[in-house]
């Protein structure tokens, strides 16, 4: 089997012998068919790399339609708690 072999159908025995070359040819886009007892059975095709999906800003916006906007801005601490945090020393070694 030469490198520029125009043959595209191979018997299983021949395919086992030259599998690496057939994979290279199929990866290059060539149509490779494997036959058993002269009857075509399978086709070698390259696997296309799965690329990242293209970014679409705002594509999940519909998920936020039922979320009330005031939850994002409600304070979770009382004024007394906030004052206590502000008065604390940041350096724990000074406590």
Q: State pLDDT tens for residues 18-62.
A: 999 999 999 998 999 999 998 999 999 888 777 777 888 888 888
**What gap in Å lies between CA 27 and CA 69, rounded to an integer?**
52
In a 13 Å sphere around the CA of 13, the CA atoms on its Cβ side amount to: 2
Residues forming beta bridges with residue 10, ordered by sequence position: 34
The stretch 68-95 carries a mean pLDDT of: 74
Q: What order of strands is seen across the sheet that includes strand 39-44?
A: 9-11, 32-36, 39-44
Residue, of 92 and 16, whose pLDDT is higher:
16
According to the model, what pLDDT value does residue 50 have? 74
Domain range annotation of the chain: 9-44, 61-89
What is the model's pLDDT at position 75? 66
Strands 39-44 and 32-36: antiparallel
Q: In the chain, what percentage of residues exceed pLDDT 70?
A: 83
Length of the chain: 95
């Amino acid at each position: 089997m030469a490198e520029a072999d125009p043959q595209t159908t191979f018997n299983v025995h021949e395919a086992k012998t030259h599998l690496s070359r057939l994979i290279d040819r199929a990866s290059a886009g060539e149509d490779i068919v494997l036959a058993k007892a002269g009857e075509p059975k399978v086709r070698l095709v390259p696997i296309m790399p799965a690329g990242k999906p293209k970014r679409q800003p705002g594509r999940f916006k519909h998920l936020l339609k039922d979320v009330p906007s005031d939850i994002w801005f409600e304070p979770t601490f009382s004024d007394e708690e906030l004052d206590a945090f502000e008065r604390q020393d940041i350096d724990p070694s000074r406590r």
